[in-house]
């Protein structure tokens, strides 16, 4: 019988000793308010935040460097759940800028529905005399018309129209063809790009609420103007502008859009830190310092969701 020999110094005596004794870093979590840059999609922002924070998370000194014994490969679905969770609370079109609420961590991403509840505020520019397939300046022009008949009292007509039940109060609105709304498991813009525009008739109208809308700038010669409005979630501002042009006897498209408020979240630094532009989204200390761990949610009244 062989005498018992103690293991050599430094040799692990069990699987447990083969693990790092350092506890993993707690992943970052909280809510970020991002002033979304123009030409970025909402998912561009989400992917950027996830990549930057994940890289930072895994580079921390307390992240375990020694590996546990070989185990069977992690199933794809489990591997996906191990990634840092990041999501946004309400899509902004690439043309748009302004408040994009981003949730970081499982606790906060599970409450994204609450982040989308409540009222939203926008500023938007419009151009009269033109219609496009996207209802904004990024699309293909489909119709053109004169707005000369609005030269003398167009501003007064516009203000009166916006104050009418056609634009203020509870409205029925059909999502535009170029939108992220899903039908039969596909985004509407996928059908549009495939030339299946006739599917729009199958998209049901939605009930939205416009609490306030006003024209704050008007240039009769150029046919341009600016709207400011407060509305419920799910309201398409470019569709309101398209309808406004038709009601004024011409056409109109949205030329720019800025979301200035989502529930309690604004672009004002006095309300909390705001990440602005690509530079901030690359700055780890800036992102970590902007995380709000006390989640604020407006309690919407009936019909505001």
Instruction: Note whether 92 and 146 are same-domain residues.
Output: no
Instruction: Note whether 125 and 258 are same-domain residues.
Output: yes
**Residue 113 pLDDT:** 82
Would you say residue 4 lies in a domain?
no
**Residue 91 pLDDT:** 84
The 3-class SS string of 140-180 reads CEEEECCCHHHCCCHHHHHHHHHCCCCCCEEEEECCCCCCC
Number of domains the chain is built from: 2
Instruction: Note whether 174 and 222 are same-domain residues.
Output: yes
**Residue 25 pLDDT:** 64
**Which stretch of DSSP H or E encloses residue 226?**
strand 224-232
Would you say residue 45 lies in a domain?
yes
Per-residue model confidence as pLDDT tens digits over 105-121 = 999 999 888 877 779 99
Would you say residue 1 lies in a domain?
no
Instruction: Note whether 258 and 130 are same-domain residues.
Output: yes
Query: Looking at 93, 190, 271, 283, which residue is catalytic?
Result: 93
Instruction: Note whether 162 and 108 are same-domain residues.
Output: no
Instruction: Note whether 215 and 285 are same-domain residues.
Output: no
Would you say residue 248 lies in a domain?
yes
Would you say residue 84 lies in a domain?
yes
Mean pLDDT of 231-244: 95
Would you say residue 300 lies in a domain?
no
What pTM does this model have?
Answer: 0.80
Instruction: Note whether 230 and 135 are same-domain residues.
Output: yes
CA–CA gap between residue 102 and residue 48 (Å, rounded): 11
Instruction: Note whether 100 and 130 are same-domain residues.
Output: no
Instruction: Note whether 127 and 193 are same-domain residues.
Output: yes
**Residue 51 pLDDT:** 94
Instruction: Note whether 91 and 128 are same-domain residues.
Output: no
Q: Is 44 a catalytic residue?
A: no
Instruction: Note whether 186 and 82 are same-domain residues.
Output: no
Would you say residue 186 lies in a domain?
yes
Unique residue bearing structure tokens 């999609």: 41
Instruction: Note whether 124 and 225 are same-domain residues.
Output: yes
- Structural domain for 210, as ranges: 119-262
Per-residue model confidence as pLDDT tens digits over 23-79 = 556 788 999 999 999 999 999 999 999 999 998 888 777 544 444 444 445 444 444
Specify the range with the lowest mean pLDDT, choosing from 16-25, 92-101, 167-176, 285-294. 16-25
Specify the range with the lowest mean pLDDT, choosing from 161-165, 231-235, 292-296. 292-296
Per the CB < 8 A criterion, the answer to whether 281 and 40 are in contact is no
Please report, to the nearest 10 degrees, the dihedral formed by the alpha carbons of residues 156, 158, 160, 161 taken in order.
Answer: 160
**Residue 127 pLDDT:** 98
CATH of the domain at 191: 3.30.2350.10
């Amino acid at each position: 019988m062989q005498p018992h020999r103690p293991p050599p110094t430094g040799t692990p005596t069990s699987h447990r000793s083969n693990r790092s004794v350092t506890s993993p870093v707690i992943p970052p979590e909280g809510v970020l308010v991002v002033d979304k840059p123009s030409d970025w999609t909402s998912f561009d922002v989400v992917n950027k935040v996830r990549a930057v924070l994940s890289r930072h998370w895994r580079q921390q000194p307390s992240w375990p460097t020694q590996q546990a014994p070989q185990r069977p490969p992690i199933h794809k679905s489990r591997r996906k759940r191990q990634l840092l969770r990041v999501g946004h609370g309400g899509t902004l079109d690439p043309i748009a800028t302004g408040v994009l609420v981003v949730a970081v961590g499982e606790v906060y991403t599970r409450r994204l529905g609450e982040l989308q509840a409540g009222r939203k505020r926008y500023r938007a520019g419009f151009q009269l005399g033109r219609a496009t397939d996207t209802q904004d300046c990024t699309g293909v022009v489909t119709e053109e018309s004169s707005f000369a008949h609005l030269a003398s009292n167009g501003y007064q007509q516009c203000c009166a129209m916006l104050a009418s039940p056609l634009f203020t109060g509870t409205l029925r609105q059909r999502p535009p063809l170029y939108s992220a709304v899903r039908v039969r498991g596909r985004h509407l813009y996928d059908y549009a790009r495939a030339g299946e525009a006739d599917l729009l008739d199958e998209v049901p109208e939605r009930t939205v609420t416009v609490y306030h809308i006003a024209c704050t700038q008007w240039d009769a010669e150029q046919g341009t103007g600016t709207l400011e409005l407060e509305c419920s979630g799910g309201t398409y501002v470019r569709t309101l502008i398209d309808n406004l042009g038709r009601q004024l006897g011409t056409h109109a498209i949205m030329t720019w859009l800025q979301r200035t408020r989502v529930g309690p979240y604004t672009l004002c630094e006095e309300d909390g830190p705001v990440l602005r532009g690509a530079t901030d989204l690359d700055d780890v200390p800036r992102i970590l310092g902007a995380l709000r761990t006390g989640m604020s949610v407006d309690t919407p009244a009936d019909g505001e969701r």
